[in-house]
Amino acid sequence: MLIFTALPAFNDNYIWLIQDPQRKECAVVDPGDAQPVLNWLAEHPQWQLSDILITHYHHDHIGGVATLKEATQARVVGPARETIPCLDLPVDEGASIELLGHTVQVFAVPGHTLGHVVYFATTGLAQPWLLSGDTLFAGGCGRMFEGHPEQMHHSLMRLAALPHDTLVYCTHEYTLSNLHFAQAVEPTNTAIAERLKNVRQLRDQQLITLPSQMDLEKRTNPFLRCAQPGVIQAAQQHSSTQLEQDYAVFAALRSWKDTF
């Protein structure tokens, strides 16, 4: 059974450390800073870092790669369409990799960046999991720095179609602010109100709000709910054009969130 540990970095990043207790091997996801990983390895000298998974090229996700590669010789896996330091295995849509004894699928999810990938595993697991990078957040989604709304919306809908019990491991502690926006979009959504209450309690205690779960996201994340009448109505109030497609609703929501 794999164990996921969040190593805090910078102001609100998490570097996910995935551990296989039997092998005493581990992998890290998007290490923007090498030091939290090196500290953990120093405290657990019997463990070996086998893999570094990268979702996209932004510095807060790749800044520690070269140092970790030099220190551990771990395999670096990342998007083929982006420039990733020390990249050993470029991956893109349709690829699968072996990670700590498990098969992991790779999906291309353009939007946040054009080459962004995510990693999904279900085979042989009690519960599927998704490493969603900066595409799908708990209660929200990433900004569109390079892609366009139709691309990003398609990427999010693809993730929303994954099994309802999929655990979602994103890379930032944005849940509280995302849910404040979600409640502005759907003020009568009781699932959002309940989740916001729970998340406030966690953050008041300085506790992590992740991972999320896909069925919870589909009930509370406005960016996965662009076909819902209440969401369409709220988005329309922030758009100067008629919103006739789900991706146009998404675009209006994303623009609203950018200045929320």
Region of poorest pLDDT, from 88-102, 132-146, 176-190, 236-250: 236-250
- The CATH class given to the 3-258 domain equals alpha beta
> CA–CA separation, 223 vs 152, rounded Å?
10
pLDDT per position as a tens digit, 91-144? 999 999 999 999 999 999 999 999 999 999 998 888 999 999 999 999 999 999
Token reading at 38:
């090196």
Indicate if 58 belongs to the active site: yes
> CA–CA separation, 107 vs 135, rounded Å?
11
Residue 163 has pLDDT above 90, yes or no: yes
Q: What is the model's pLDDT at position 81?
A: 97
Indicate if 134 belongs to the active site: yes
> CA–CA separation, 245 vs 248, rounded Å?
5
Indicate if 148 belongs to the active site: no
Indicate if 56 belongs to the active site: yes
Domain ranges for the chain, please list them: 3-258
Catalytic residue among 112, 116, 153, 246: 112
Asked whether the whole model's pTM tops 0.95, one would answer: yes
Indicate if 172 belongs to the active site: yes
Contacts of 195 (CB under 8 A, 6+ apart): 139, 179, 216, 220
The separation between the first and the last C-alpha atoms of the chain, rounded to the nearest angstrom, is 40
